[in-house]
Amino acid sequence: MVESTHTQAGHESARTGDIFGKTISGVERVFLLLSRQWHTNIQIVHRDNPPPRSLDLLALSCLMLSVEWGWCFTDVARDQMDINENISESVRSSPWLDQFPWQLCQASLETTPSGSEAVERLTANFTHHHSSIRCWMLEIGWITRSLLDVSKAIPLLLKNLADTIFEPFLSAGLAAAIFAKKDDVEFYEMAQNFNPHPDDKEQYQERITYIKNNGILCIQSPLLELEIQCWKIISGAAFGQLNHQAGIGQNENKGQIGEKKHGTAKQLDLFEYQATCDKTRTYQLPEWEEWTSPMPDNQENFLSDDPQGKGPPSPGNNSRRPEH
- The ranges assigned to domains in the chain are 20-109+229-304, 130-214
DSSP letters for 214-255 = H-HHHHHHHHHHHHHHHHHHHHHHHHHHHHHHHTTTB-TTT-
Q: Considering only residues 274 and 102, tell me which one the structure prediction assigns the higher pLDDT.
A: 102
Count other C-beta atoms under 10 Å from residue 270's C-beta. Answer: 25
pLDDT at 91: 87
pTM of the complete model: 0.71
Mean pLDDT value across residues 208-226: 95
**pLDDT per residue over 17-30, tens digit each?**
555 556 788 899 99
pLDDT at 180: 67
Mean pLDDT value across residues 295-301: 36
**pLDDT per residue over 61-109, tens digit each?**
999 999 999 999 999 999 999 999 999 888 887 889 999 999 999 999 9
pLDDT at 101: 96
Mean pLDDT value across residues 11-19: 41
Q: DSSP assignment, residue 315?
A: T
| Sequence-ordered list of residues with C-beta below 8 angstroms from that of 121, at least 6 positions apart, any chain | 100
Mean pLDDT value across residues 44-57: 90
Cα–Cα distance for residue pair 255/45, rounded to 1 Å: 29
In this structure, are strands 276-277 and 283-284 parallel, antiparallel, or unpaired?
antiparallel
**pLDDT per residue over 247-268, tens digit each?**
444 443 333 323 333 333 333 3
**pLDDT per residue over 144-168, tens digit each?**
999 999 999 999 999 999 999 999 9
Mean pLDDT of the chain: 75
Q: Of all helices (H) and strands (E), which one includes residue 10? A: helix 5-15
Residues 136 and 321: beta-carbon distance below 8 Å: yes
| Sequence-ordered list of residues with C-beta below 8 angstroms from that of 285, at least 6 positions apart, any chain | 32, 36, 268, 273, 275
| Sequence-ordered list of residues with C-beta below 8 angstroms from that of 221, at least 6 positions apart, any chain | none
